[in-house]
Amino acid sequence: MAETRKTRVLIIGSGPAGYTAGIYASRAMLSPILVQGIEPGGQLTTTTEVENWPGDTEVQGPDLMIRMEAHAKAMGCEVISDIITSLDLSKRPFEAKADSGADFIADAVILATGARAKWLGLPSEDAFKGFGVSACATCDGFFYRGQEIVVIGGGNTAVEEALFLTNFASKVTLIHRRGELRAEKILIDRLMKNPKIVPLWHHELEEVVGDDNPKGVTDVKVKHVETGAITEIPAKGVFVAIGHAPASELVKDQLELHHGGYVKVMPGSTATSIPGVFAAGDLTDHVYRQAVTSAGMGCMAALDAERFLAEAED
Ligand code: FAD
Ligand code: NAP
Ligand 2, atom 33, lies closest to the CA of 156
Distance, CA of 203 to CA of 179 (rounded, Å): 9
Catalytic residue at 136? yes
Same domain, 200 and 268: no
Of the candidates 217, 240, 263, which is a domain's last residue? 240
pLDDT at 188 over 80: yes
Residues with CB under 6 A from ligand 1: 12-18, 35-40, 42-44, 46-47, 50, 52, 83-84, 112-115, 157, 160, 247, 250, 281-283, 289-292, 294
Instruction: Say which CATH number the domain at 285 has.
Output: 3.50.50.60
Catalytic residue at 139? yes
Same domain, 261 and 231: no
Per-residue confidence (pLDDT) for residue 127, from 0 to 100: 96
Per-residue confidence (pLDDT) for residue 139, from 0 to 100: 76
pLDDT in tens, 205-249: 999 999 999 999 999 999 999 999 999 999 999 999 998 899 999
Number of domains in the chain: 2
pTM of structure:
0.84
Using a 6 Å cutoff on CB, does residue 52 contact ligand 2? yes
Using a 6 Å cutoff on CB, does residue 178 contact ligand 2? yes
Same domain, 224 and 83: no
Same domain, 92 and 154: no
pLDDT in tens, 131-151: 999 988 887 898 899 999 999
Q: Which long-range contacts (CB under 8 A, 24 or more apart) does 26-31 make?
A: 26/72, 26/75, 26/76, 26/77, 27/75, 27/76, 28/302, 28/303, 28/306, 30/302, 30/305, 30/306, 30/309, 31/7, 31/76, 31/78
Same domain, 194 and 98: no
Of the candidates 206, 240, 274, which is a domain's last residue? 240
**Ligand 2 centroid – CA 137 distance (Å):** 15
pLDDT in tens, 84-134: 999 999 999 999 999 999 999 999 999 999 998 899 999 999 999 889 999
Ligand 2, atom 34, lies closest to the CA of 156
**Ligand 1 centroid – CA 234 distance (Å):** 32
**Ligand 1 centroid – CA 289 distance (Å):** 9
Same domain, 262 and 233: no
* Helix (H), strand (E), coil (C) string for the chain: CCCEEEEEEEEECCCHHHHHHHHHHHHCCCCCEEECCCCCCHHHHHCCEECCCCCCCCEEHHHHHHHHHHHHHHCCCEEECCCEEEEECCCCCEEEEECCCCEEEEEEEEECCCEEECCCCCHHHHHCECCCEECCHHHHHHHHCCCEEEEECCCHHHHHHHHHHCCCCCEEEEECCCCCCCCCHHHHHHHHHCCCEEEECCEEEEEEEEEECCEEEEEEEEEECCCCCEEEEECCEEEECCCEEECCHHHCCCCCECCCCCECCCCCCCECCCCCEEECHHHCCCCCCCHHHHHHHHHHHHHHHHHHHHHHCC
Domain with 254 in it:
4-116+244-313
Per-residue confidence (pLDDT) for residue 314, from 0 to 100: 64
Q: Give the residue, 288 or 263, on which the prediction is more confident.
A: 263
Per-residue confidence (pLDDT) for residue 51, from 0 to 100: 87
Of the candidates 191, 206, 240, which is a domain's last residue? 240
pLDDT at 1 over 80: no
Q: Which of 47, 157, 188, 297 to mutate to test the pocket of ligand 2 (most atoms within 8 A of CB)?
A: 157
Same domain, 85 and 168: no
Catalytic residue at 140? yes
Same domain, 152 and 185: yes
pLDDT in tens, 267-303: 999 999 999 999 999 999 988 889 999 999 999 999 9
Same domain, 233 and 146: yes
**Ligand 1 centroid – CA 44 distance (Å):** 6
Same domain, 107 and 248: yes
**Ligand 2 centroid – CA 19 distance (Å):** 24
pLDDT in tens, 32-80: 999 999 999 999 998 888 889 999 999 999 999 999 999 999 999 999 9
Mean per-residue pLDDT over the chain, rounded: 95
Same domain, 15 and 43: yes
* Average pLDDT score over residue span 188-215: 97
**CB neighbours of 257 closer than 8 A, spacing ≥ 6?**
248, 251, 263, 264
CA dihedral angle for residue 188, residue 194, residue 200, residue 206, rounded to 10 degrees: -100
On whether the CB atoms of residues 82 and 2 are closer than 8 A, the answer is no
Catalytic residue among 77, 107, 140, 282: 140
Distance, CA of 110 to CA of 159 (rounded, Å): 32
Ligand 2, atom 28, lies closest to the CA of 243
Distance, CA of 269 to CA of 271 (rounded, Å): 6
Amino acid at 258: H
Using a 6 Å cutoff on CB, does residue 177 contact ligand 2? yes
Per-residue confidence (pLDDT) for residue 260, from 0 to 100: 84
Same domain, 103 and 14: yes
